[in-house]
Structure 1
Amino acid sequence: MSETGDDDSGTAPNPFLPSPDDLQHWASVMTRAQQMMLEYALGQAQDDADARPLFDPAKWLDTPATEIWAAQTSKMWEQGVAFWSSLATLQPPFAPSPAEDAPKDRRFSDPEWTANPAFALIRQTYGLLSEQLLATTRQVAGLDDAARAKLEFAAKNMAEALSPTNLALTNPEVIKRAVETRGESLLKGLKHMLSDLSRGQLSHVDPDAFEVGVNIATTPGKVIHETDLYQLIHYAPTTKEVFTVPLVIFPPWINRFYILDLNPAKSFVKWATEQGLSVFMVSWKSADETMKDVVWDDYVAAQVDAIDTIRDLLDVPHVHAIGYCVAGTTLAATLAMLAAKGEADKVKSATFFTAQVDFEFAGELKLFVDDNYLALLQQLSAPGYLDGRYMAATFNSLRGRDLIWNYVVSNYLLGNDYPPFDLLYWNGDTTNLPAKWHRQYLVDLYRDNRLVIPNSLSVCGTPIDLRKIKTPTYIQAGREDHIAPLASVWRLMDHLSGPKTFLLAGSGHIAGVVNPPAAGKYQYWTGDNSAPTLAEFEASATETKGSWWPHWIGWIAEQDARKIPAKGARIPGKGKKKAIEDAPGRYVKQR
C-alpha cells in the first residue's frame, strides 16, 4: 500500500468494497449484530403473546378498487421488464442521463446517482416504474372520486416505499458509509431499528434528549385547576400591567400542548405573556381505560368549564379563546352552543389556528373514514382508547417521504445520530384518544360533515347552528397545510356570522403557527375579509415578511385594549384558585 492510500498497483481503492484488512472487523460486526437480534427476539418472546401489531396496512387498502388497480399494474411491470431487456443490446459503459428538466429529488443527491452507471441505471428504472405506477392508477376506469383518491394515495405511498434509496444494497451513500465505518454504521442503524421495534414507533429524535418541564415546556406557571379530562395552567405575567381580558388556549388533544411552548425562543405562550396577556393553557389528559365513555360533549363541556373557571378566578365577564386544529373545531361547537343558550358574551373573541368546521375539502385524511378503516379502528381501540402510535403512523403516512423513509435511511441505514430537535421530540410524544370520541369525530364530521348542517348535531343537549356565532373571529390558515388544507379552513368564513379576519400564513400545520417574530422566517398574507371566495381573497392579498404574531396581537388589542396591574389573582396561585403543582403539570407527562 502506498503512502497516498492507493494499493501497490496504483489503483484507488473501491469505495463500495471493504479492504481485505477490514474483513476481521466485519466478522466482529456480524457477530454483534446477531447477538443484538437474538436479545431482541428473546425480549419479544417475553411480551404478551396476544399483543397485536402496531398497524395493519393491508386492511386499509382492502377494497374492490385495489383489485382493479393490482390487475392494471401488471402492465407496468411488463413494460419494466421490456426496458431492462432492451439493455442487453447495449455495450458498456452505459450511463443513462437524467432528463434536464427533471425536478430535484433530494433522495438522489449523492453524486453516484448520476456519475456511476450502475446507480444511474437503478435511478432511471425506478423513475420509470414509479411514474408508470402512478399513471396506471390514474387511468383505472369505473372509480368514483373517493375510491380514486384512495387508490392514488396508496400508489404514491407504494412508490415512495419502493425507492432504491430505502435499501442498503441499492443506496450508494449507505454502501460507502458502511465501508468507511467498517460496518459500524449498519450496526448502529440496527440498534436504532430494534429500539424502535420495541417501542412500536419510528423515532425521529433521541427520546432521551428532552425532558418535559426541564428543557422543553419551561415557561413558568402553575396548574390551578384540574378535572378528570384536563389541567388548567396559569402562566406567570412578565409585564407590570396585563390586558383586562385574559387568554385561554385550547390545544388539540391529539397532541401534547407544548407545541406552543417548545423552548423560550419558539414559545407562543412566553411571547404572549410578554405582550401583556394573562395566559391560560389547557393540558388534556392522554386517554386510558377510564375514558372509554368520553365523547365530544365532554370536550365541549371542558372548554366551557375552563372559560368559567378563568372568569370566576379573575372576576371578568369574558375571555379571549384560541382553538388549535381539532380544539378549534370544538371551539366552534362551544361558541354555537353558548350562542344558542344566550351566553355568547363569555367569549370576547375567538382565534382559530388551522381549524376546520366544514370537511368537504378536508384533504387526504378523509381517506381514513371508510367502513374498512373504521372497523380496523374498532379492533385497535378494544381497551376503550386508541393508542397514540396508531394516529402518529397515520399522520406520518400523509408525508411518508419526509416523515418515514427519510428517517429509515438516516437512522437505520446510515446509522446517523439522532438530531436534538425539540419539534421532532414533540411529534413523537404521542397521545392516546378516547375511542368513542374518535369514531364520533370521524363519522359525524369527516365523513358526514354534519357540523355545518344547522341543528344536525347537538352538544350537551343543545342543537347547534354555526350561523348563530357572532363572536369576532381571527382565522389563521397555512398555505402548505396538509392536515387542515387552506381551502377547508377558508370555509369558516362561510359559516360564521360575526366579524371575521382571515390570515394566510406561510408554511404548514405546525411551522405556519409556531413562527416567532425573532426567527424572521416565512411570511403572511392579509386581504379583503369580505371576499366571497378564497381565490378573490388571495387576489386582494398583500404579503408581509416574517411572523404573523404581531398582526394577531394588534387585532387582540383592537377588541379591548384596557389593562390593569399584574397582581392579586393575576399571579398564578394567588387568587381563590391555589396552585396544585408547577407547570407543565402531571397530565402532559402521562403516557
Structure 2
Amino acid sequence: MNASSVKPSRNTLPAVTPAPWSDQTPSAPQMPVHPYETMDRSLRAGMARVTQGMSPYAAANAWFDWMAHLSTAPGRQMELVEQAGKSAFKLATYAAQQFQEGTEPPFKPKPEDHRYAHPTWGKPPYNLLQQTFLATQDWWDHATCCIPGAQKHSTDRVDFMVRQLLDIMSPSNSALLNPEILEKARETHGMSYKAGMKNLFNDIKDTLLAEPTAPSTQFKVGEDLACTPGQVIYRNELLELIQYSPQTETVHSEPILIVPAWIMKYYILDLSPHNSMINYLVGQGFTVFAISWINPSADMSDFTLDDYRLQGVMAAVNAVSDVMPDKKIHACGYCLGGTILSITAATMARDGDERFGSVTLLATQVDFTEAGELMLFLDESQVAFLEDMMWDQGYLDHRQMAGTFQALRSEDLIWTRAVHRYLMGLEEVEADISVWNADSTRMPYKMHSQYLRGLFMENRLTAGRFAVDGRVIALKDIKAPLFVVGTEKDHIAPWHSVYKTALFTDSDLTFVLTSGGHNGGIVSEPGHAHRHYRIGQRDAGAFYTDPDSWLAKHESKDGSWWTEWNTWLKATQSSQPTVVPPQMGAPDKGLVPLAPAPGTYIYIR
C-alpha cells in the first residue's frame, strides 16, 4: 500500500461531538468574518511567512522597552561603561601574559557552548579572537539584565536577539578565523570547501522546493525504527492505536497506554530495538498500547484541543478497555501528550471515571509560568502573528516549529552544524534519533491556537480556569499515583516547570530527574553510558517541597531511570500479577487488526 495515499477514516468507535472549550461556558456561535478582517489577516499572514512566524512588532516593543528604561538609568549606564573597561583591562592583561606558563583566560564559554573545544583555540592568535568574542558576549549579558522598570520578558527577548546576532559574528563561523576549518582544508587539500559548497547547494535546493528529507538508507521506519511487532487495532481521523505483540509467556494483568506528543512522530519511544522504550516495556511483560497521531493537513485546520482529548486520548482509552475490560489502565504521556493526558485524567476524575491505575508524565508541563525560553516567543503580538499564519496555511508547519527550537540552542543546532556541513564538508553522522528528528509533523490551526492561548499564555489549567464540557477541571482531583520525569538539560520543558506537577496534585507522586535533554533524557535505556538520575517519592497529602530543596535532598544514582519506572509500574498493578496475554484487539466489539505496526499514519508527510 502507498502510505501517502492513506486517508483518515472513522473506524469501529462512534464519532464524538467536540465539547466546548472555554473558561466557564460553551463558546458562542461564530460570527461571519468581515472582508476587511480577512484582508488584514491575509496581509499579516504574508508577513509571517517572510519572518517565519516571528512578529516584528514584538521584537520592536522589546527593544523600545529596554532602551527607554536604560536611557533613564544613568547609574546603570555608568555601571556598563565600567564593565566594559574591566573587560578591556582583562583582555589586555591576558594578551600581555598569554605566553607565561599558567596564564588562565579571563572568559570561559558557557557550559552548553562547544564551539571552542578544539585545543587550537587556546593558542595565539586564535585565543585572542575567542576571548574578544566571549568578552563581548559577557558584556551584553550584563547589559540586558536587571534594567530598572523594564519588563523581564522584554530584557530576556533582547538578550535572546543579541545572542543570535553575536552568534552570527562568532569567529568560529569564519573560514579564515576558525582553526578547525583551516586544519580540515589543509588535510583535504581544499576539497572540504568543495564538499561544503555541495552540501549548501543541496540544502538550499531542498528548502526552496520544500522537498521532504530523503528517507535514510541505514534506518528505515518499520524495519530498523518503529519495528516492535504489533497491530493497529483502531483508527479514526486523528490516530491509529497500536497493540504490541507479547514477548513473554505471561503478562501483567493491567495494560499500559502511551500518549505521545502530536508535535512529533510517536516512534521517538520506539527507536532501534536496543533503545526502544516500547520494546523494553513489552519485554518486561507489559501489554502495551500506543497512539500514533496523524500528520494533519490543511483540511484538518478546525480540529480543536478537545478533539485531541475526545477523538484522541478518550477514544484510545475506550478501545483499550474493550480489549481488556475491567482492568485499570496505566497511562503514560510524553511532552504535549502528557499535557492532554493530564487534562483527560482530571476530567475523568471529576466525572467519576476511575479507569486509570496510574499516570506517568514524561517531560510534561501542566503549569506554564516557568516554561523556559519558549516563553520568549509568546505574547499577544507574537501569538496573533502565528494565528494569522496558521489561519492562512491551516496548520503550523514543521519547518516553522523547528526553526524556533533550533534558535534556542543556535550555537549548537544552527552554527556548529553549519560550520561542519558547509565549511568543513562533513556529512552528519546518521543516527536513529536524528532520522526521527527530521521526520517532523504539523499542528492544526485551531488546536494549536487554543493550546498557545489557553495553556501557555493564560495558564488556565493550574489557574482553575480550564473548562471541559462547560465545567472547570482540577489536577488535584486525580487520585491515581503519579510518576513524573524531568530532564536536567531540557530547554523545551525545563525540569523546574515539570516538577511543579507536585504543587498542583495531592496523590502519591514519584519524581525523577534524569540526565540529558528533552529527548535524550527520556530515551535513556539500561546500559546507556554516562547516565544518572535522582528519584524521590511524596506520599498522598504530604507537604510541598520546592524543586531546589528536593534536589539537595536526593543523591544522584548511576544508570537508567527505566528500571525504577519498571519497578514502580509493577508495584501499582492492582490485579493478579500475571495472566495469559490478551487477544489482539476485540473482534466481538469491532476492533480487529487493520495493519501491522507501525501502521499507516506514521508514513503520512
Q: What TM-score does the superposition give when structure 1 sets the normalisation length?
A: 0.83
Residue 440 of structure 1 aligns with which residue? 450
Aligned partner of 1:21 in structure 2 is none
Paired position in structure 1 for 2:462? 452
* Cα distance between partner residues in 2 of 1:93 and 1:535: 41
Structure 2 vs 1, CA of residues 543 and 349 (structure 1 numbering), >3 Å: closer, same or farther?
same
| 108-117 vs 578-587, greater mean Cα deviation | 108-117
Cα deviation, 1:208-252, whole Å, max 9, x if unaligned, reads: 343211221111111111010011111111000011111110001
Show the counterpart of 1:353: 362
Partner AA of 1:552 in structure 2: W
Contact 1:569 1:575 in 2 (8 A): no
Larger Rg: 1
Partner residue in 2 for 1:158: 165
Q: Residues 320-361 of structure 1: CA distance to partner in whole angstroms, max 9, x if unpaired?
A: 100111111111110111122211x11111111111111111
- Shifted more, 223-232 versus 512-521: the winner is 512-521
Alignment pair present for 1:554 and 2:598: no
In structure 1, give the amino acid aligned to 2:116: F
Indicate whether 1:63 and 2:34 are aligned: no
Q: Secondary structure, in 3 states, of the residue corresponding to 1:415?
A: coil
Letter in 2 for 1:437: M
* 1:411 CA drift (Å): 1.0
1:411 & 1:238 partners in 2: Cα distance?
A: 42
Q: Would you say 1:517 and 2:526 are equivalent positions?
A: yes
Name 2:116's counterpart in structure 1: 108
Whether 1:135 aligns to 2:129 is: no
Report if aligned partners of 1:350, 1:472 keep a CA contact under 8 Å in 2.
Answer: yes
- 1:82, distance to aligned residue in structure 2 (A): 13
Instruction: Return 210-219 or 564-573, whichever deviates more.
Output: 564-573
Asked if 1:578 corresponds to 2:592, the answer is yes
Match in the other structure for 1:188: 195
Contact map agreement 2:129 2:171 (CA 8 A) in 1: yes
Quote the offset at 1:378 in angstroms: 2.3
Compared CA separation, residues 461 and 69, structure 1 to 2 (3 A): closer
Q: Which AA in structure 2 matches 1:586?
A: T
Partner of 2:301: 292
Contact 1:314 1:570 in 2 (8 A): no
Equivalent of 1:232 in 233, 241, 259: 241
Shift of 1:318: 2.7
Contact 2:54 2:385 in 1 (8 A): no
Which residue, out of 485, 490, 493, partners 1:484? 493
Deviation at 1:578, TM superposition (A): 1.8
> 1:432, 1:450 → 2: CA distance?
24
Structure 1: gaps of 5 or more residues:
1-48
Which residue pairs with 2:176 in the alignment? 169
SS of residue matched to 2:197: helix
Where does 1:491-570 land on structure 2 (aligned, <5 Å)?
491-529=500-538, 530=542, 532-533=544-545, 534-560=547-573, 562-570=576-584
Partner of 1:11: none
Please tell me whether the aligned partners of residues 107 and 134 of structure 2 are also in contact (alpha carbons under 8 angstroms): no
| Post-superposition CA distance 1:108-167 (Å, at most 9, x none) | 2334433332x3332232222222222222254431122122222222333233211112
Q: CA deviation at 1:574?
A: 11
Q: Give runs of aligned pairs for residues 107-506 of structure 1, distance below 5 A.
A: 107-117=115-125, 119-138=126-145, 140-200=147-207, 208-209=216-217, 210-301=219-310, 302-343=312-353, 345-381=354-390, 382-454=392-464, 456-506=465-515
2: CA distance, partners of 1:52 / 1:536: 45
- Once residues 569 and 97 of structure 2 are traced to their aligned partners in structure 1, the CA distance between those partners, rounded to angstroms, is 68
C-alpha separation between the residues in 2 aligned to 1:489 and 1:389? Answer: 26
Q: TM-score, normalised by structure 2?
A: 0.81
Q: Structure 2 counterpart of 1:336, which letter?
A: A
Q: Distance in 2 between matches of 1:579 and 1:285?
A: 18
Contact 1:528 1:541 in 2 (8 A): no
Whether the 8 Å CA contact 2:251–2:581 is kept in 1: the answer is: no
Q: Contact 2:584–2:593 (CA<8 Å) still a contact in 1? A: no
**Tell me, what secondary structure is at the counterpart of 2:430?**
coil
Distance 1:133 1:433, change over 3 A: same
* RMSD of aligned Cα (Å): 3.5
Question: CA 1:140–1:539 in structure 2 vs 1: closer, same or farther (change >3 Å)?
Answer: closer
Tell me the CA shift for residue 395 of structure 1: 1.2
Moved over 4 A (4+): 49-54, 68-84, 91-98, 570-576
Is the partner of 1:517 in helix, strand or coil? Answer: coil
Residues 175 and 182, structure 2, Cα contact 8 Å, conserved in 1: yes
| Structure 1 residue 483 displacement after superposition | 1.4
SS at match of 2:527: helix
Q: Which amino acid aligns with 1:475?
A: V
Q: 1:50 to 1:192 in 2, by over 3 A?
A: farther
Residues 580/167 of structure 1: CA separation in 2 closer, same or farther (3 Å cut) = same
Q: Compute the displacement of 1:106 (Å).
A: 3.4
User: Residue 475 of structure 1 aligns to a residue in which SS?
Assistant: strand
Q: Secondary structure at the match of 1:170?
A: coil
Q: Distance in 1 between matches of 2:563 and 2:314?
A: 28
1:431-476: CA deviations, max 9, x gaps?
A: 101111111111111111110122x122244431222111211111
Distance in 1 (CA, whole Å) between partners of 2:235 and 2:375 is: 34
User: Residues 332 and 357 of structure 1 are in contact (CA less than 8 Å); yes or no, is this contact kept in structure 2?
Assistant: yes
SS of the equivalent of 2:433 reads helix
- Please state whether the residue corresponding to 1:228 is helix, strand or coil: coil
Deviations 1:44-74 (A, max 9, x none): xxxxx99944726572752233146579799
Measured in 2, the distance between the counterparts of 1:159 and 1:324 equals 34
Identity fraction in percent: 33
Secondary structure of the residue aligned to 1:107 is: coil
The one-letter code sitting in structure 1 at the alignment partner of 2:175 is A
Q: Distance in 2 between matches of 1:507 and 1:94?
A: 36
Q: Contact (CA 8 Å) 1:354, 1:478: kept in 2 or not?
A: yes
Q: In the superposition, relative to structure 1, how do residues 576 and 70 fare at CA in structure 2: closer, same or farther (>3 Å)?
A: same
Distance verdict in 2 for CA 1:139–1:531, change over 3 Å? closer
| Partners of 1:468 and 1:93 in 2: CA distance | 65
- Give 2:561's aligned amino acid: W
